[in-house]
Structure 1
Amino acid sequence: MDITFRSMVLFVRDMEISKAFYTDVLGQKVELDLGVNVGFVGGLALWDRAYVNDLLYAGKMPPGEAAAPPMEVYFETAEVEALAGRVAEAGVRLLHPLKEQPWAQRAIRFFDPDGHLVEAAEPMPAVVARLAAEGLSDAAISERTTLPRQVVAAMLGNECCD
């Protein structure tokens, strides 16, 4: 099974302040900016903490400052179902089982032995290809995944609109 470490995800209180810090102070280049989720060239990602807490952790963790961990370790694998099976067989404590996220990516989140949050998900190009195989247009895939239409077209090898 091929599992690839993709990034460290930092959950931040103020996206604009954090984005400015990483771009202006540390010279990181934004690769994809979805507002509540910003990915930098090289793999570092920022997620808006309130968005993450509402979207993924509501009801799973204590309220207040500890509502969401400060970060997660993120892996990708095309064999996410098989990995979910291995995690279950090992009796690993889950945040949630394998499920489709609001942006159509299938992911599982669980805790390592020290309580660090780990996410494993299918690569977004695989998500885009899956949705295309289901008959969705580039525009519909863009809407479903929140990826810009140009990114979807590039993943599919299609020409795009402006």
Structure 2
Amino acid sequence: MKFANPLIVVSDIEKSKLFYSTVLGLDVILDFGANVTLTGGIALQTKESWCSFIHKPKNEVFFGANNSELYFEEDDFDNFILKLNQIPGICYVHPIIEHSWGQRVVRFYDPDKHIIEVGENINKVVRRFINKGMSAENVAIRMDVPVDYIKSCL
């Protein structure tokens, strides 16, 4: 068994392709009209075709359940946030937060209310702490991870 990719159902495939390209920099790898595969392995499926696949009426497919997300890591988190703030119409789940382990993240919705999380690359978090003068041992304590993990990030 091999996991192939996540698939999300979308109401407007063209609008979703534009969103994922503009906001997250993903490109179309395969475009079959009702099904599109993007870089990173995310597949988009039209709501109409999805409903026919699962033998359900359209009113039984819901958006905005807030029960899952697509997670991305960004090497240049600060510049990503600057870019995101310039895109009109972004609907935030929450503004930038810093998790207890020190990683900064932002969550927002795609056009169909799927949650997108963009987090600071965890290696960059480690380096940020090291650059502030913390030892690998102190960073491990701060991030609640083994010292070997911190060393592997450096």
TM-score scaled by length of structure 1: 0.51
The answer (yes or no) to whether the contact 1:108–1:119 under 8 Å persists in 2 is yes
Aligned residue among 122, 125, 142 for 1:124: 122
121-130 or 75-84, larger mean C-alpha shift = 75-84
State the shift of 1:85 in Å: 2.3
Structure 1, residues 140-160: CA drift from partner, whole Å, max 9, x if none? 11111122211012222xxxx
State the shift of 1:97 in Å: 1.6
For 1:3-152, list aligned pairs within 5 A: 69-90=66-87, 91-152=89-150
* Secondary structure, aligned partner of 2:107: strand
* Secondary structure, aligned partner of 2:151: helix
Q: Which amino acid aligns with 1:133?
A: N
Query: Over alpha carbons, which structure has the higher Rg?
Result: 2
Size of the aligned set, in residue pairs, is 91
Please give the alpha-carbon distance, in whole angstroms, between the structure 2 residues aligned to 1:82 and 1:153.
26
Please give the alpha-carbon distance, in whole angstroms, between the structure 1 residues aligned to 2:79 and 2:141.
28
Unmatched segments (≥5 aa) in structure 1: 1-6, 9-67, 157-162
Q: Compute the RMSD of aligned alpha carbons.
A: 2.0
State the shift of 1:71 in Å: 1.5
Unmatched segments (≥5 aa) in structure 2: 7-64
TM-score scaled by length of structure 2: 0.53
* Secondary structure, aligned partner of 2:105: strand
| 4+ residue segments displaced more than 4 Å | none
The answer (yes or no) to whether the contact 1:96–1:108 under 8 Å persists in 2 is yes
